[in-house]
Amino acid sequence: MLDGCAYILTVDVGNTFIRFGLFAEDSAAAQECPLATCEITTPSSITADEARMRLVQVMGALAADAGVPGVLAPAAAVLSCVVPALERPWKTALSRTCTGRVLTVGPGLKTGMPVHYDDPAEIGPDRIADAVAARAVYGSPCIVIDLGTTTNIEVIDAHGTFVGGVIAPGLALGARSLSAAAARLPQVEPSAPTHVIGRNTREAMRSGVVLGEVARIDGMLDMVLAEMRATKAAGEGDVPIVITGDDAEALAALVGHSLTVDDALTLRGLAELYRINQKPRRA
């Protein structure tokens, strides 16, 4: 079905999961959804050879899902990695697998977006990818919520400038920290309870973790929007709010603000960064 097409592989290495997205090279941009995606658990350590073997498996799965015949050899790749020890092995593996260049999100890579941050080099590559995608797809101003090991809120003002955000513990991290710090508290899965008032310890913990996260997101959004309006960063009209990451759809249903769920936002941002950083083709 897609024979004869060149492909771009986007790789988002997070603290808990690694997500992969496949895009057609000629249309790789944030406006396009990936042809296929897959996800694996982030290892605590990995060699370049091990990463390459995982890539072979991943590309086989992506090719099957996208209907790509034969062996998939991406023309290029874009890598976002928030785990410093894993960046080199994955970059090396991608360089050995792709037929073209491998871009790594970080200092020196063009974003097409003004950044007002004390030290732009501190901004995580996943945060950059989210902001780039949101700006391209949903316009400016815009707010992004990314649920993962941490819960991140990113803010793009009315002029299309990334102006910062919020970083807080994520759902799973919050649940683990309770049982780790308090000897009598059990480990619980962060699933939404049916009641706010828990009738046993596990229900009470799930309420605190999940509904507490919902309350924090709603409260932070109220404060972020108020600050944006006070500083004229919000412009006129409503500010789109996009949510992505782990359990985004389930959490969006509980949050009081109107949210747009975009499960592939980070991968779409990586595709957009590829487009922005393409070298001009010779005539």
Of 12, 119, 126, 222, the catalytic one is 126
One-letter-per-residue 3-state SS of the chain: CCCCCCEEEEEEECCCEEEEEEEEHHHCCCCCCCCEEEEEECCCCCCHHHHHHHHHHHHHHHHHHHCCCCCCCCCEEEEEECCHHHHHHHHHHHHHHCCCCEEECCCCCCCCCCECCCCHHHCCHHHHHHHHHHHHHHCCCEEEEEECCEEEEEEECCCCCEEEEEEEECHHHHHHHHHHHCCCCCCCCCCCCCCCCCCCHHHHHHHHHHHHHHHHHHHHHHHHHHHHHHCCCCCCCCCCEEEEECCHHHHHCCCCCCCEECCCHHHHHHHHHHHHCCCCCCC
Mark which of 76, 104, 132 sits at the end of a domain: 104
pLDDT digits 0-9 by tens, 185-213: 999 988 888 899 999 999 999 999 999 99
Tell me, what's the pLDDT at 1? 42
Q: In the chain, what percentage of residues exceed pLDDT 90?
A: 83
* 160 and 245 assigned to the same domain: yes
Mark which of 104, 138, 162 sits at the end of a domain: 104
* 259 and 127 assigned to the same domain: yes
pTM: 0.92
Per-chain mean pLDDT for the chain: 93
Residue 283 pLDDT > 60: no
Least confident of 40-54, 128-142, 225-239: 225-239
Tell me, what's the pLDDT at 5? 75
pLDDT digits 0-9 by tens, 42-93: 999 999 999 999 999 999 999 999 998 877 889 999 999 999 999 999 999 9
Q: Give the chain's domain count.
A: 2
Tell me, what's the pLDDT at 153? 98
Asked if residue 207 belongs to a domain, the reply is yes
Asked if residue 274 belongs to a domain, the reply is no
- Annotation says 3 is catalytic: no
Residue 3 pLDDT > 60: no
Range of the domain at 52: 7-104
Please tell me which residue, 281 or 268, carries the higher pLDDT value. 268
Average confidence (pLDDT) over 27-37? 83
